[in-house]
Amino acid sequence: MVAAAVAVVAVLSPARPTGTRVADAVWAAAFAGLVALAGSRSRPGPLLWLGAIAALAAVGGGGAGAVLGVAALAGAIALVALDRRSPTAGGLVAGLGVLALLSGHTFGPTGLPSVVAAVAVAPVLLAAWRSLGPVGRRRTLVAGAAVAAVVLVASAMALVAALRVRSELSDSARQAKDALGLVRDGEVAAAVPELDDATTGFADASGALGGVLALPGRLVPVVGHQVEAVRRVSAAGEELTSAAARAARQADYQSLRSDSGRVDLVQMAAMQQPLDASIDAAHHARQVLDDVRSPWLVAPLAHQLDSLGRQLDDTVPTAELASRALGVAPTLLGGGSPQRYLLQFATPGESRGAGGYVGTYGVLTADGGELHLETTGATEDLNVADGGAPRLYDPPPGWDQLYGEFHVGRFPGNVSADPDWPTDSDVARQLYRQVPEVGAVAGTIYADPTALAALLEAIGPVYVPSLDRELDATTVEDYLLVEQYAAFNSDDDATNLARRQVLGDVVEAVFDALTTRELPELQDLLSILGPAVAGGHLKIDVFDEPGRALVDDVGLSGAWDPTPGADHLSLRSTDLLMNKIGVFLDRTMQVDVALDEAQRQVRSTVTVTLTNRSPASGLPVYVIGNQQGLPMGTNLSEMAVYSPLGLEGATLDGQVVGMSSQDYAGGHVYGFPVEMAPGQTRVLVLHLVGRTAGEGTYRLDLIPQPLAHPDQVTVTVRDGSTATLFDGPLETRQLLTAGG
């Protein structure tokens, strides 16, 4: 009677010996009933053994299992103390113990709870066996042999089914992994046949493992888990590759392009659902891989599944980003209402924190997916003369302390003063709202000559009527940085006005072509524009929150975001003479980092070598002159070093100097004005000190200033030995790692 009751209760236990619910209930009931029956024939000693192990195994999980285990142990202790055998009490103690073991508390490596349960009940079963007579033992042996034979045959059938699909499943996992890699790399069309083949393979494997041949094996403990695990992986793989193939056909984001200045928003909207379905399938597949992962899986298959899991981890974030872009882009492209964007064209010849002084502005309009350059103008025409009321704006925190001397309310070209473009962008939005031909805008675009060269590489050459010449990706930078000044080699107002008009014509020609020509496929476009974006030469900020989050995540916003937990370093120069002499400034930076892991200290010596290659004559005053009475060709620049480390001291040409210090975005900025005559070289050295992260790994985030010529940078780290982490032009951001 007790054994039957225990068997009924065991049906409700969470034990899953096979992974198939009905079979699990039958096996749990049979096992629990058998142990309870054996307990009714056992001596107190084996029951104490069972109760002690059950209590220890179950108490860590708490809840009902712990209560059952403690009750079994208490009952067994009572039987030992009374030194008596009671079939009812023995069956109850054994039943409580086995129910505690079946409570579902897991611990240790895979299979250990089952081993512990077997060790716990073995003495009770042995004691019951010894209590049987010859007939009882014979019947028990026959019943056990019959069960073993059935289990053996079922396992053999499952093994045959698994062997039939093992190779196919492994190949399908490999094909799926390769196809996902192709999708991630933008080769969507090439991924489709691989995905189709993988879908077929996964479907065949899933069907075979869910068929008649494998069914008996699915009802066998342990074996059933393996068959079910592989079947689930096969089914999830089929769902994943089928959804991915459907998305690759219907949501090939690489096929999105601007045709005559228009992006097809209907096509974009149609891509959302299949792409999201493939992402859901990928998440499900990843969860299945995690759920079924077991050391009992066949090694080659386990290797392919692990590799597929890593590929999912690499690919899913890209797909999720693409899905977010599909959701946000229609709004940004004027799908609901026209969107206007403020264009800020900067020249690094007059350097500012974000790159260069903004000399030309414009308005780019997006309406229903169609792009149009609405207007362009020179920022000098927006300057407010002395005596006039400056444009009002609400400065961001710290702006007045750092950039008050630039008076952006009077001189909007100085709006690029901060290294963080979203900060500059917010100021620009406020200022240009007061310019009648601009007004309210949805975002800002920063571009410099390097960005225009990248755009021309994508769209081809443009003809500029006012120049009567064609500019292309190989000539536009030289023209904008040097040739234009030689062509307009005069300082009178008429010549300066003509030069500004031609500069606007160049910008207008490039953006007109951008908004009217067919662009390359998305992958090719990203490949062309990627270096300009990574180097900070092309930046886009939008004021809609989902849009801003998106451009931040794809690295378009130009946000100042040093890697958390890492050291960071950025050298920024700002031209203080308001000329265009920055194009002649060469900068090199030697960074020598000394680590003391024992003290968790980092010391960094930053040696900045500056060479002014400017001529002393031959170019207009507005290029190499100044209003401070300094000789022609003189470069006077505020050199600023951004770092989270503290400044111990600094020298200029070996002489101690006092650098200004300001807090900036969780770190510091150290500044000092350096004057350089034509042809002169000067050396600024900073000694920085701070604490390491203490993780055995040192990371340095090198953040470049987008200028006409990239800095030449060498970084060495000394930690017992010396290692060179970087040596070359700092064209894009670099995250360097030493140790670990």
β-pairing verdict for 667-676 and 712-719? unpaired
* C-alpha distance across the termini of the chain, in Å: 63
102, 84 in Cβ contact below 8 A? no
pTM for this predicted structure = 0.77
Give the residue among 562, 739, 574, 578 at the shortest CA–CA distance from 668: 562
Do residue 348 and residue 322 come from a single domain? Answer: no
Rg of the chain in Å (alpha carbons): 37
Distances in whole angstroms, Cα of residue 557 to Cα of each of 28, 349, 550, 551: 59, 22, 9, 5
Do residue 328 and residue 349 come from a single domain? Answer: no
pLDDT, tens digit (0-9, with 9 covering 90-100), for 448-458:
999 999 999 99
- When pLDDT is averaged across residues 557-571 and rounded to a whole number, the result is 95
pLDDT, tens digit (0-9, with 9 covering 90-100), for 72-109:
777 778 877 877 778 888 778 777 777 777 776 676 66
- When pLDDT is averaged across residues 497-503 and rounded to a whole number, the result is 80
Cα 520-522-526 angle, rounded to 5 deg: 95
d(CA 619, CA 10): 94
* Residue 160 domain-assigned (yes or no): no
The CATH number linked to 444 is 3.40.630
Phi and psi at residue 119, to the nearest 5°: -65, -35
Do residue 350 and residue 300 come from a single domain? Answer: no
pLDDT, tens digit (0-9, with 9 covering 90-100), for 574-606:
999 988 899 999 999 999 999 987 778 999 999
* Residue 670 domain-assigned (yes or no): yes
| Helical axes 188-209 vs 134-184, angle rounded to 10° | 170
Q: Domain range for residue 645?
A: 567-739
* Residue 136 domain-assigned (yes or no): no
> Domain ends where: 266, 301, 332?
332
Do residue 534 and residue 579 come from a single domain? Answer: no
Do residue 518 and residue 392 come from a single domain? Answer: yes
Residue 499 corresponds to which amino acid? R
Edge to edge, the sheet with strand 538-542 lists 370-378, 355-367, 339-352, 443-447, 538-542
Do residue 535 and residue 581 come from a single domain? Answer: no
Q: Kindly give, in sequence order, each residue whose CB lies less than 8 Å from that of residue 53, ignoring residues fewer than 6 positions away.
A: 97, 101, 116, 119, 120
What pLDDT was estimated at residue 320?
A: 84
- When pLDDT is averaged across residues 159-175 and rounded to a whole number, the result is 72
Do residue 497 and residue 377 come from a single domain? Answer: yes
* Residue 149 domain-assigned (yes or no): no
334, 200 in Cβ contact below 8 A? no
The structural domain count of the chain equals: 4
* Residue 588 domain-assigned (yes or no): yes
Q: pLDDT confidence of 271, banded at 50, 70, 90?
A: confident
* Residue 723 domain-assigned (yes or no): yes
d(CA 580, CA 350): 5
> Domain ends where: 500, 524, 553?
553
Do residue 508 and residue 458 come from a single domain? Answer: yes
Distances in whole angstroms, Cα of residue 113 to Cα of each of 33, 55, 87: 19, 13, 27
What pLDDT was estimated at residue 336?
A: 85
The residue among 735 and 116 whose pLDDT is bigger is 735
The CATH number linked to 693 is 2.60.40
> Domain ends where: 293, 315, 332?
332
Looking at the predicted structure, is the pLDDT value of residue 217 above 80?
no
Reduced to 3 states (helix: H, G, I; strand: E, B; else coil), residue 394 is coil
Edge to edge, the sheet with strand 567-575 lists 660-664, 667-676, 635-643, 567-575, 697-702, 734-739
CA atoms within 13 A on the CB side of 301: 24
67, 61 in Cβ contact below 8 A? no
Give the residue among 624, 612, 634 at the shortest CA–CA distance from 681: 612
pLDDT, tens digit (0-9, with 9 covering 90-100), for 115-147:
777 787 788 778 777 887 787 778 777 776 776
148: left (phi over 0), alpha (psi -120 to 50) or beta: alpha
* Residue 278 domain-assigned (yes or no): yes
What pLDDT was estimated at residue 257?
A: 62
Do residue 354 and residue 442 come from a single domain? Answer: yes
* Residue 576 domain-assigned (yes or no): yes
Lookup: tokens for 186:
């933008």
Do residue 237 and residue 318 come from a single domain? Answer: yes
Do residue 125 and residue 16 come from a single domain? Answer: yes
What pLDDT was estimated at residue 725?
A: 94
Give the residue among 140, 32, 123, 46 at the shortest CA–CA distance from 90: 46
Residue-averaged pLDDT of the chain = 84
Do residue 345 and residue 325 come from a single domain? Answer: no
